[in-house]
């Protein structure tokens, strides 16, 4: 059954029901990704602190990375504490069951609801169903949350399962780094785990990773990790320093840019 192109709103809705197309195209790299593209990438990379705003000129921004790689998606309650009871339809809305890597997982949709805009559909490029997937780091959870790990575990499952729904053929990821406070920046270990958990087809079909408004320390980290990343993957990483530069590379009609990044 042939799939149709569909635009999504910034508040991601996986019930797709409309059609749109664009005629613009971007350059693609010819090589496929290997399964071990990021396998040797270290999870923990220490960098200076205090990044509050991006600086596309490459000066004065720091990142601190911590390994918050999700290892499960279950929450325990204190012994003897009663579990709230919900009607069947309400329970169904609060939890979503997905299959990732032939393993079934349950996602707590209530806890990730404020963060669903972290991933959105940005339209298509070129011919066919070549999707643009937008990842906005500014919508990530604050790491000071008491339940941060639980939220990240469920958000991890949501992002992976949503990506599999949105991508039909080749695709690119637009990573919006600008305007992301230090405490909201996902760790290298978490991003690595996301990449390793997606289906092999999606890993091979990723054509470009556009990093918009990279800070000086983000660029430093990426260059530092180059020895651990396959050359095929590294060639797909492109730094983009302005929204006008981004618009020259891909169609922007259906890409949602947060207002504070536009400013």
Per-residue pLDDT band for 228 (boundaries 50, 70, 90) equals: confident
- Of 32-41, 92-101, 230-239, the poorest mean pLDDT is in 32-41
Kindly state which CATH superfamily the domain 1-74+115-263 is placed in.
Answer: CRAL-TRIO lipid binding domain (3.40.525.10)
Query: How sure is the predictor about 90, in pLDDT bands with cuts at 50, 70 and 90?
Result: low
Q: Which tokens sit at 86?
A: 């919900």
Q: What is the pLDDT of residue 133?
A: 96
Q: What residues does each domain of the chain span?
A: 1-74+115-263
Which positions ≥6 away from 202 have C-beta within 8 Å?
163, 164, 167, 171
In the chain, pLDDT over 90 holds for what percent of residues? Answer: 35
First to last CA, the chain: 43
What is residue 38's three-state secondary structure? coil
Residues in the chain: 263
**φ, ψ of residue 122 in degrees (nearest 5):** -105, 20
User: What confidence category does residue 252 fall into, taking pLDDT thresholds of 50, 70 and 90?
Assistant: very high
Phi, psi of 74 (to 5 degrees): -115, 145
Handedness of CA 240, 18, 138, 109 (dihedral sign): negative
| DSSP E strand boundaries for 85-162 | 95-100, 103-108, 119-124, 131-136
H-helix or E-strand containing 239? Answer: strand 237-240
251: left (phi over 0), alpha (psi -120 to 50) or beta: beta
Beta-bridge partners for 171: 131, 206
pLDDT in tens, 19-68: 333 344 444 444 444 445 555 555 555 443 333 343 434 433 333 334 44
**C-alpha dihedral, 112 to 118 to 123 to 129, nearest 10°:** -70
Position 176 scores a pLDDT of: 95
Q: Is the pLDDT of residue 231 over 60?
A: yes
22 sits in the region (left: phi over 0; alpha: psi -120 to 50; else beta) called beta
Contact 219, 56 (CB under 8 A): no
Record the pTM. Answer: 0.66
């Amino acid at each position: 059954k042939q799939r149709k192109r569909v635009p999504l709103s910034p508040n991601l809705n996986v019930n797709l029901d409309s059609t749109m197309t664009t005629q613009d195209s971007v350059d693609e790299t010819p090589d496929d990704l290997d399964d071990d593209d990021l396998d040797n990438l270290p999870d923990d990379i220490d960098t200076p602190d205090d990044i509050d705003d991006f600086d596309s000129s490459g000066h004065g921004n720091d990142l601190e990375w911590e390994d918050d790689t999700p290892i499960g998606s279950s929450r325990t309650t204190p012994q003897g504490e009663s579990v709230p009871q919900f009607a069947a339809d309400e329970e169904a809305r609060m939890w979503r069951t997905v299959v990732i890597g032939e393993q079934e997982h349950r996602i707590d949709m209530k806890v990730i609801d404020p963060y669903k805009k972290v991933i959105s559909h940005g339209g298509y490029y070129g011919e066919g169903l070549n999707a643009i997937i937008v990842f906005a780091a500014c919508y990530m959870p604050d790491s000071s949350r008491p339940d941060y790990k639980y939220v990240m575990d469920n958000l991890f499952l949501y992002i992976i399962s949503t990506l599999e729904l949105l991508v039909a053929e080749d695709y690119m990821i637009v990573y919006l780094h600008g305007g992301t406070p230090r405490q909201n920046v996902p760790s290298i270990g978490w991003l690595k785990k996301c990449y390793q958990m997606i289906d092999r087809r999606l890993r091979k079909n990723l054509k470009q990773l556009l990093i918009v408004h990279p800070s000086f320390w983000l660029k430093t980290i990426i260059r530092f990790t180059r020895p651990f990343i396959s050359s095929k993957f590294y060639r797909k990483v492109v730094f983009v320093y302005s929204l006008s530069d981004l618009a020259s590379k891909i169609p922007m009609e259906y890409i949602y840019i947060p207002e504070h990044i536009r400013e």
